């Protein structure tokens, strides 16, 4: 029962470098999300996707890009990393239908990113 898997778990970047965070889910969920978590700020939505090939901006999208080429994968890209992007990044997925599971998001274990 893998659920939502994020890779890598840790990463250190220098300012200006680029990287891609990978999220994979095996629950056949339509919806996927990327959040960042900063101390005292809770979780803030970066981008989300309601299906393969579709993405949308969340609350804090600047400096990030995403792609959803396959239903099970959601990639988060940083083209030119900045120290302000030092954070813990979480991916989540959720069921799109009705019923008891509606709107419940399932989270990965997170990626800890430091930008020096």
Binding site for other proteins (CB under 8 A): 4, 31, 33, 40-45, 48, 50, 58, 90, 92, 94, 96, 98, 100, 102-110
| Encoded tokens for 100 | 């008891």
| Encoded tokens for 71 | 């239903």
Identify which of residues 9 and 79 has a Cβ nearer to other proteins in the complex: 9
Angstrom distance (rounded) from CA 116 to CA 69: 30
Query: What's the min distance (Å) between Cβ of 104 and other proteins?
Result: 6
Identify which of residues 69 and 100 has a Cβ nearer to other proteins in the complex: 100
Query: What's the min distance (Å) between Cβ of 29 and other proteins?
Result: 11
CA 8 to chain centre: 12
Identify which of residues 40 and 62 has a Cβ nearer to other proteins in the complex: 40
Identify which of residues 79 and 102 has a Cβ nearer to other proteins in the complex: 102
Q: Which residues, other chains included, contact 73 with Cβ-Cβ below 8 Å and sequence gap of 6+? A: 22, 23, 24
| 26: Cα within 13 Å, side-chain hemisphere | 5
Query: What's the min distance (Å) between Cβ of 96 and other proteins?
Result: 6
């Amino acid at each position: 029962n893998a659920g939502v898997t994020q890779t890598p778990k840790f990463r250190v970047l220098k300012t200006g470098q680029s990287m891609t965070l990978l999220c994979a889910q095996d629950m056949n969920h339509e919806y996927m999300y990327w959040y960042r978590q900063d101390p005292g700020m809770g979780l803030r939505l970066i981008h989300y996707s309601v299906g393969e090939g579709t993405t949308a901006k969340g609350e804090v999208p600047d400096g990030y890009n995403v792609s959803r080429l396959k239903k099970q994968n959601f990639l988060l890209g940083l083209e030119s990393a900045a120290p302000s992007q030092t954070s813990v990044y979480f991916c989540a997925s959720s069921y799109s239908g009705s019923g008891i599971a509606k709107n419940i998001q399932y989270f990965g274990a997170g990626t800890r990113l430091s930008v020096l």
